[in-house]
Copies of this chain bind each other. A is one copy, B any other.
Amino acid sequence: MTTIKDVAKHAEVSVATVSRVLNNNGYVNSATKERVKRSIDQLNYRPNDVARSLFKGRSKMIALFVPDIMNPYFPELARAVEDVTNRHGYTFVLCNTDDEIEKELTYLNALQQKSIDGFIIVSSTITEEHIENVNVPIIALDRILSANLSSVTVNNREGGREATEYLKSLGCLRIAHISGPENASNTTERMRGYLDVVKNEDWFLSSYVVSGGYNFDKAKEVTINLLKNNPEVDGIFVANDLMGVGAMKAAQSLGIRVPEDLSIIAFDGITLGETTSPSLTTMAQPIYDIGARAAEMLIEQVNDRELPRKTEEFSVKLVERQSTKVRS
């Protein structure tokens, strides 16, 4: 490996001068600057980032915590975060946490030992006390972790309301809800939105709300039970697309036609919903945008640690596809 010393020797200057032209700061005669640049080229010198990091106490790395990258909601988020961080010269570290607090804490520690510059976190388990001794910026993404932490989310409750209203507008008379895990802020908000709309309907039964755990197979299973026990249900608002597809499979396995007998609307707007038959009507999040925004926000906070905490909420948008249909 060629070092700054080699360059200095080759250009017959001091390492300080080389460092100055490298970082383009401080005064340096344009002639010597050229000479140094030539030496850098000739020696094909690349500064050692580890040495820089040691000095600066920052590594130009950013980490994204997701429960599981295999869940199809997260790749787009990850892609967005990587694009932005990369564009700003940061290295992107991906951590699968399985929503286990031990893994999360382990990552938090390990990465701080590497002088990581900040975290973007999707989590249902981390709370304030877990991060009180984290001394780099954190952005909560998709789910809110704590009131005084910056966050980027969508209007889940409003979206839940709109989805449910949409089913009503289609003429659905019995609308059920497949919810996600209890401890995730996003899914509880979606359920609230659903309840806002149906809780005063005379037909509403608490058994119309069942938990699918953000999981394809689980959702399929609970949907089968739901539809068996409540054959009158003609509309389902499912808390995310992955479960929505599971719900469609469930209906099909029961010989219930979607959308003729049953309308299904879900939430997220992942590509998966476009590939199924029928394709899935959904409340689409601007997934890429919220990931990108979280990354930008984090980088802003990394560059100015005094920045106030900020919380941004994006809007979801109804995307009508084939799994919903006007009742006749």
A69 closest partner in B (C-beta): B75
The residue from B46, B72, B74, B249 contacting A113, defined by CB atoms under 8 A apart: B46
Given contacts A69-B69, A275-B276, A276-B277, contact A111 B83 (CB under 8 A): no
Given contacts A82-B94, A272-B272, contact A114 B216 (CB under 8 A): no
Contact mask for chain A residues 81-92; partner B; CB cutoff 8 A; 1 contact, 0 none = 011001000011
A54 and B46 within 8 A (CB): no
Interface residues of A in 1-57 (CB under 8 A from B): 1, 46-51, 53-54, 57
Which among A54, A94, A276 has the greatest number of chain B C-beta atoms within 10 A?
A94
B92 and A216 within 8 A (CB): no
Q: Does A229 count as interface, using CB distance less than 8 angstroms?
A: no
Residues of chain B lying within 8 A (CB to CB) of residue A188? none
Chain A interface, >50% SS class: helix
A91 and B114 within 8 A (CB): yes
A74 CA to B75 CA in the complex, in Å?
A: 9
Interface residues of A in 75-128 (CB under 8 A from B): 75-76, 78-79, 82-83, 86, 91-96, 109-115
Residues of chain B lying within 8 A (CB to CB) of residue A74? 75
Q: Does A303 count as interface, using CB distance less than 8 angstroms?
A: no
B216 and A46 within 8 A (CB): no
B46 and A50 within 8 A (CB): no
Residues of chain B lying within 8 A (CB to CB) of residue A248? 277
Given contacts A70-B79, A93-B93, contact A113 B276 (CB under 8 A): no
Residues of chain B lying within 8 A (CB to CB) of residue A252? 277
Residues of chain B lying within 8 A (CB to CB) of residue A111? 91
Q: Does A138 count as interface, using CB distance less than 8 angstroms?
A: no
Q: Does A266 count as interface, using CB distance less than 8 angstroms?
A: no
B91 and A110 within 8 A (CB): yes
B95 and A50 within 8 A (CB): no
In the assembled complex, the CB of A44 is this many whole angstroms from the nearest CB of chain B, namely: 8
The residue from B47, B79, B276 contacting A276, defined by CB atoms under 8 A apart: B276
The residue from B79, B246, B249 contacting A96, defined by CB atoms under 8 A apart: B79
Q: Does A301 count as interface, using CB distance less than 8 angstroms?
A: no
Q: Does A179 count as interface, using CB distance less than 8 angstroms?
A: no
Q: Does A59 count as interface, using CB distance less than 8 angstroms?
A: yes
Q: Does A245 count as interface, using CB distance less than 8 angstroms?
A: yes
Q: What are the nearest 5 A-B pairs in CB distance?
A: A49-B113, A94-B94, A49-B114, A69-B75, A50-B54
A-B contact pairs, 7 of them (CB 8 A): A47-B113, A50-B59, A51-B54, A70-B79, A78-B94, A86-B95, A272-B275
